[in-house]
Amino acid sequence: MLLGILFHTIGGIASGSFYMPFKKVKAWSWEVFWLFGGLFSWLIAPFVAAWLTVPDFNGIIGATEGHVKAFTYLMGLLWGIGG
């Protein structure tokens, strides 16, 4: 239960801190702000977190068959479109 509370706390901090740099980039349009935030949140941060926490992450990704990676990408794409 404490682990669940910890994860919710981390998620809340991460969600709330998304808007922190908004004051510094007021000249940016809303779309550009979301583009950079999305690229970091959905593409860069997950790979960095996995690389830092999963032993031999590069080896695991390299050993995964191409059709599994393609299927995973497709399902993520469909979730993004449908969500």
Q: Does residue 65 lie within any of the structural domains? A: yes
> Of 14, 36, 12, nearest to 24 (Cα)?
36
Mean pLDDT of 33-53: 87
Residue 25's pLDDT is what? 72
**Domain extent for 63:** 25-82
Q: What is the pLDDT of residues 15-38, one digit of tens each?
A: 777 766 677 777 778 788 888 888
Whole-structure pTM value: 0.61
Q: CA-to-CA distance for 11 and 53, rounded, in angstroms?
A: 17
Mean of per-residue pLDDT scores for the chain: 87
Opening angle at CA 4, ends 20 and 44, nearest 5: 45
* Contact status, residue 58 vs residue 64, Cβ threshold 8 Å: no
Q: Are 37 and 18 in contact (CB under 8 A)?
A: yes
Decide if 19 is inside a domain.
Answer: no
- 52/40 Cα distance (integer angstroms): 16
Residue 7 inside a domain? The answer is: no
Number of domains in the chain: 1
Residue 70 covered by a domain: yes
Is 55 domain-assigned?
yes
